[in-house]
Amino acid sequence: MENFNPFVLPFVLGAFALLGICVYKYVRWIRQFDRAQQKVFYKNLFTGKFIPAIWEMFTECLLHLRITKKNWRLGYMHRSIAFGWFLLIFVGAIESRIGTKDHFHFWVAIFYRFFHHTPPANGTEIFFTNLMDLLLLYVLSGVFLALVKKIRSRILGMQRATKHSLMDKIIRYSLWGIFPLRLLSESVTACIYGNGGFLTQTIGNWFSLPVAQFLELPFWSLYSIDLCLFFVLLPFTRYMHIFTEIFLIYFRRMGVKEHTRMTGFTKFELSACSRCGMCIDHCPLYKDLDIPEVQSVYLLRNLRNLEYHKDIVTAAKNCLMCNRCVEDCPVNIDLMNIRRIARDKGKIDMPDSYSYLKNVSAFNAIGRVAYFGGCMSHLTPGITQSMESIFKAVGQDYWYMDELKTICCGRPLLQQGFNSQAAELRLKNTELIRKSGATALITSCPICYKSFKDEYQLPIPVYHHTEYLNMLIESGKLKVSKSDLKVTYHDPCELGRGRHIYQEPRKVLQAVATLLKISDEKENSLCCGMNLGNTVLTLEQQTTIRDNTLACLNEPNPDVIATACPMCKRAFQHGTNANVKDIAEIVADNLEK
């Protein structure tokens, strides 16, 4: 039979097994979508949204631009293997279509050199032969870097690589084996028939003819068997991310979002994690405290692999929810939501817990702005007093919503997996704000701000006080004088990474003081350690994280450390000799009389 040899069977069977298992899994997961998720998905399915989706699939699944932006060496490694392999298959298919007129035996594209012995004669053939060799060299350079990373991850800019399970290790070696085996197989064939390119022919010429004839079939068989092994293991290991990420990008672009409980979409997200381990290095729990196996990569592994199910809760609990890993994740997986899903409190998350709030009635605040200090601001009265004096200075009528009694925004409960209790508080606060008739809501606490913005559906605009102050200063309503204070600014997690408010606080600070640059700011800002996301760390551990953050903030010798979060302020003020102030306080001190 032409274009067939028994050695292709493992490859063919493996490819079909891979296709079958993937289709089965994906169909099952899509059926497990929540109804709301399905609705969004079908609504957007036939809109123009698929064009940016396809572009993102190309740039992320093949070119890996997001990784490249963070670390070009890792980006090169991933791109050379992913894009290089894709091109090997794609160009190989074109070459085999030109070379043979056989479209039925699809494996010919993979094993083209074995079935097509004539040495390249015309320009096109020479071009393709050498291009294929170049692509193989490109992939091999990536595999070489992967090997270097395995031995010393620091060379590629990673402090620590992920600890993998046995299956993940086996499939990794099978992946690394594929390309050297292909090189050897093509080389021995090139030795016999002289049909190689610049690389395979050179290596082929090192073999003597009888050796090459003896080795040809074993090498090609090994190559085929290795491909089969990779294909069959793929759906059960981390390499499932190769195909899942494509789907995940598509669903995300269609507007599908994570639900509060585990759905089919969560399974897509779990499988899209490549366990690259980029979330480990900057995690405060790893960086400052050396706590292993709680980072997002391990939580996702625990949720996905049956043998690690027993460790889910341990990993889920121990996290500051500082969002740093979300910023670092090259796949943009919704890590915080997945963590909240894993923290679900089940039976003890009781509805109707806050019946005592039903007598709280709304204040008539028509024409005023509502000011919500937040629970934590009650521990730092300087912030609320400053805000009140600023409201008075600009002649803004305001309603201090929680001056005496605070109803929590519900985010601390949500972070710990009390979904229905959090919803109850949200409902109450929404009712109070709606009935009051206030025109805008201003809050001093980034935690509340994030909650009001993302989890509430309020009919009025919501501002963090730094945004509000910036508006006042820019519109000229608030006159401030520039003092000679030198300040460094700490980006609170929920305000910075949580809501991407980086510019407004800086503009406000530059209007009243001189802002100094620090090493870790904006997206890379360090956590103050007291974040409400964690309930496991001891005070000593939290203090260690805080001290490292303070060291960074104190480095340029500021007069004042500025922050925009009452909790960060509270955390810092006892740990340093420098003055710790909220932006509102600095502004209130520098009002033009």
Partner 1 sequence: MANFGFSIKKTRSIQLNEASLAKFRQAVEAVPSYKNCIGCGGCTATCSARQFTDFNIRKVHFSLRRGQYENVAQELQKCMLCGKCTLICPRGVNLRSLIINMRQIIANANEPFEDGKF
- Contact positions vs partner 1 (CB under 8 A): 262, 303, 309-310, 312-313, 316, 342-348, 350, 353-354, 356-357, 360, 375-376, 378-379, 404-408, 410, 412-413, 416-418, 425, 530, 532, 535-536, 538-539, 567, 570
Q: How far is CA 509 from the centre of its chain?
A: 30
Q: How far is the CB of 258 from partner 1 (least distance, A)?
A: 15
Kindly tell me which of 538 and 557 has the beta carbon lying closer to partner 1: 538
Taking 3-state DSSP, the helix, strand and coil percentages for the chain, each rounded to the nearest 5, stand at 60, 5, 35
Kindly tell me which of 201 and 542 has the beta carbon lying closer to partner 1: 542
Q: How far is the CB of 29 from partner 1 (least distance, A)?
A: 15
Kindly tell me which of 350 and 366 has the beta carbon lying closer to partner 1: 350
CA–CA distance, 264 with 300 (Å, rounded to integer):
14
Burial 227-246 (b: 16+ CB within 10 A, else e): bbbbbbbbbebbbbbbbbbb
Phi, psi at 209, each rounded to 5°: -55, -50
Q: How far is the CB of 348 from partner 1 (least distance, A)?
A: 5
Q: What residues contact residue 358 under an 8 Å CB cut-off, 6+ apart?
A: none
Kindly tell me which of 378 and 499 has the beta carbon lying closer to partner 1: 378
Kindly tell me which of 547 and 559 has the beta carbon lying closer to partner 1: 547
Q: How far is the CB of 28 from partner 1 (least distance, A)?
A: 16
Q: How far is CA 151 from the centre of its chain?
A: 25
Kindly tell me which of 228 and 333 has the beta carbon lying closer to partner 1: 333
The residue to which tokens 């760390």 are assigned: 537
Coil, helix or strand at residue 420: helix
Q: How far is the CB of 487 from partner 1 (least distance, A)?
A: 24
Structure tokens at 434: 């709606």
Give the amino acid at 532. L
CA–CA distance, 464 with 470 (Å, rounded to integer):
10
Coil, helix or strand at residue 371: strand
Q: How far is the CB of 538 from partner 1 (least distance, A)?
A: 6
Sign, CA dihedral 311-316-320-321, equals positive
CA–CA distance, 307 with 305 (Å, rounded to integer):
6
Kindly tell me which of 287 and 570 has the beta carbon lying closer to partner 1: 570
Q: Are 589 and 484 in contact (CB under 8 A)?
A: no
| Strand locations in 436-532 (E) | 440-443, 462-464, 486-490, 514-515
Q: How far is the CB of 279 from partner 1 (least distance, A)?
A: 20
Kindly tell me which of 429 and 466 has the beta carbon lying closer to partner 1: 429
Kindly tell me which of 125 and 431 has the beta carbon lying closer to partner 1: 431
Q: In what order do the strands lie in the sheet with 462-464?
A: 398-400, 369-372, 440-443, 462-464
